[in-house]
């Protein structure tokens, strides 16, 4: 029996920048998805999700297109298989697999990328493909585009596959260069799930993406073809030329331009363990997502307030938004007290059941030890 683990992630800063060729800073967290698998002698792939109590079967030798598959987790598995098969020109080995997860699904912690990463690592091992991590991440991203219909950037898959324990992963999504940035050991990472499920996330996500492209088109008219993505717009150029872009694309673009600058400033603050600067940047990121990008909601705003009131170094929404979770950085010495207070403050003002997870920054996906 083989076992693969693949972590979820929180993003410390750099939200909705990864499909604009920008910068992100995710951390793989100690909430993981596991796949237990037995290779078969044929190309059948039977996957049972313990989380959902649901089973599906695929024939890897004749993978159907996504629209012929039931909606749900089997599309991610089929997508990974399809992309790896296309890339390698091989038919993968069938498996009997059981899937379980401590990650809440749809909470903005990338359970979908964890699922994809787990199967990518599984087939890489069984079929001795020896693909590098970045290639696996790109194939998982393609799977999510083509089989789940979400035109996501590379962040989630890269985080689940490339992170190192104790570090955040700085990823330049244009060059795909990465850098491991140590997290001060006195800081704990807390995931604060608002309990509010995301609504209409896919369509809103794809709409934001289209609005960013619209802003790029308008900026090209004045700045020329050198603007390929919002990544190419500096804070100064943004201040000067964004007023020429129509609303709401103008505010969407303002968020992205500002957020890229905040990631770079945050990197510097993290290296210096500068709590005041980390806090200011996380709060500015949240405010920009709330007011300009309009992907927050009352519960996420309340959760950020509750975390700050409970003494967090900083807090912001994480993931696509419209519900889901916040990330907070907390002094380890104050962690117990923080968890109690933040929960009390949030409950006093929100109708949903929150869940708090104190997480470690862990290694990206791999075969389980032992």
Catalytic residue numbers, as ranges: 156
Residue 297 CB, shortest distance to ligand ADP, in Å, is 15
Does 319 engage in binding with ligand ADP (CB under 6 A)?
yes
- 33, 93, 112, 296: residue in contact with Mg ion (rule CB under 5 A): 112
32 or 259: CB nearest ligand ADP: 32
Nearby residues of 189 by Cβ (< 8 Å), 6 or more positions away:
10, 27, 29, 183, 327, 328, 329, 330, 358, 359, 360, 361
71 or 336: CB nearest ligand ADP: 71
Does 105 engage in binding with ligand ADP (CB under 6 A)?
yes
Residue 151 CB, shortest distance to Mg ion, in Å, is 12
- Which partner from the list Mg ion, ligand ADP, none does 61 bind, CB cut-off 5 to 8 Å by kind? none
52 or 235: CB nearest ligand ADP: 52
Does 49 engage in binding with ligand ADP (CB under 6 A)?
yes
Cα gap 107→195, rounded to integer Å? 8
**By rule CB under 5 A, what count of residues binds Mg ion?**
1
- 52, 165, 239, 298: residue in contact with ligand ADP (rule CB under 6 A): 52
Does 195 engage in binding with ligand ADP (CB under 6 A)?
no
Does 101 engage in binding with ligand ADP (CB under 6 A)?
yes
**Contact status, residue 293 vs residue 325, Cβ threshold 8 Å:** no
Residue 70, both tokens: 């039931």
Residue 203 CB, shortest distance to ligand ADP, in Å, is 12
278 or 365: CB nearest ligand ADP: 365
Does 318 engage in binding with Mg ion (CB under 5 A)?
no
197 or 248: CB nearest ligand ADP: 197
- 109, 249, 263, 342: residue in contact with ligand ADP (rule CB under 6 A): 109
**Contact status, residue 227 vs residue 197, Cβ threshold 8 Å:** no
Cα gap 225→213, rounded to integer Å? 13
Residues in the chain: 370
- 55, 59, 61, 72: residue in contact with ligand ADP (rule CB under 6 A): 72
Cα gap 223→343, rounded to integer Å? 48
- Which partner from the list Mg ion, ligand ADP, none does 106 bind, CB cut-off 5 to 8 Å by kind? ligand ADP
Of all residues in the shown chain, the one whose CB is closest to Mg ion is: 112
245 or 327: CB nearest ligand ADP: 327
Does 108 engage in binding with ligand ADP (CB under 6 A)?
yes
- Which partner from the list Mg ion, ligand ADP, none does 85 bind, CB cut-off 5 to 8 Å by kind? none
Does 99 engage in binding with ligand ADP (CB under 6 A)?
yes
Does 110 engage in binding with ligand ADP (CB under 6 A)?
yes
Contact footprint for Mg ion (CB under 5 A): 112
- Residues found near ligand ADP in the complex (CB under 6 A): 33, 49, 51-52, 72-73, 76, 99, 101, 105-112, 115, 319
């Amino acid at each position: 029996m083989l076992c693969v683990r693949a972590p979820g992630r929180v993003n410390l800063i750099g939200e909705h920048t990864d499909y604009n060729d920008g910068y992100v800073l995710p951390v793989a967290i100690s909430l993981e998805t596991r796949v237990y698998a037995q290779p078969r002698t044929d190309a059948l792939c039977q996957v049972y999700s313990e989380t959902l109590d649901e089973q599906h079967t695929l024939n890897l030798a004749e993978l159907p297109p996504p629209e012929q598959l039931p909606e749900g987790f089997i599309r991610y598995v089929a997508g990974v298989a399809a992309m790896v098969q296309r890339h390698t020109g091989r038919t993968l080995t069938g498996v009997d697999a059981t899937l379980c997860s401590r990650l809440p699904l749809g909470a903005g912690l990338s359970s979908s990328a964890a699922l994809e990463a787990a199967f990518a690592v599984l087939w890489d091992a069984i079929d001795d493909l020896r693909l590098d991590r970045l290639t696996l991440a790109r194939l998982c991203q393609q799977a999510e585009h083509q089989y789940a219909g979400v035109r996501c950037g590379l962040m989630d898959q890269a985080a689940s596959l490339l992170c190192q324990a104790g570090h955040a992963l700085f990823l330049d999504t244009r060059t795909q260069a990465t850098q491991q940035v140590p997290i001060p050991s006195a800081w704990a990472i807390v995931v604060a799930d608002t309990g509010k499920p995301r609504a209409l996330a896919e369509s809103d996500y794809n709409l934001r993406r289209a609005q960013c492209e619209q802003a790029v088109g308008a900026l090209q008219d004045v700045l020329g073809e050198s603007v390929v993505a919002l990544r190419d717009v500096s804070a100064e150029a943004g201040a000067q030329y964004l007023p020429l872009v129509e609303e709401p694309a103008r505010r969407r673009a303002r968020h992205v331009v500002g957020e890229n600058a905040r990631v770079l400033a945050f990197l510097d603050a993290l290296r210096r363990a500068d709590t005041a600067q980390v806090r200011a940047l996380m709060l500015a990121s949240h405010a920009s997502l709330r007011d300009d990008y309009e992907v927050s909601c009352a519960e996420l705003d309340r959760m950020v307030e509750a975390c700050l009131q409970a003494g967090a170094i900083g807090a912001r929404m994480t993931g696509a938004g419209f519900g889901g979770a916040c990330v907070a950085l907390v002094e380890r010495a104050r962690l117990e007290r923080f968890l109690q207070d933040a929960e009390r403050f949030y409950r006093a003002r929100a109708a949903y059941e929150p869940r708090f997870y104190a997480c470690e920054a862990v290694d990206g996906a791999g075969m389980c030890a032992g």
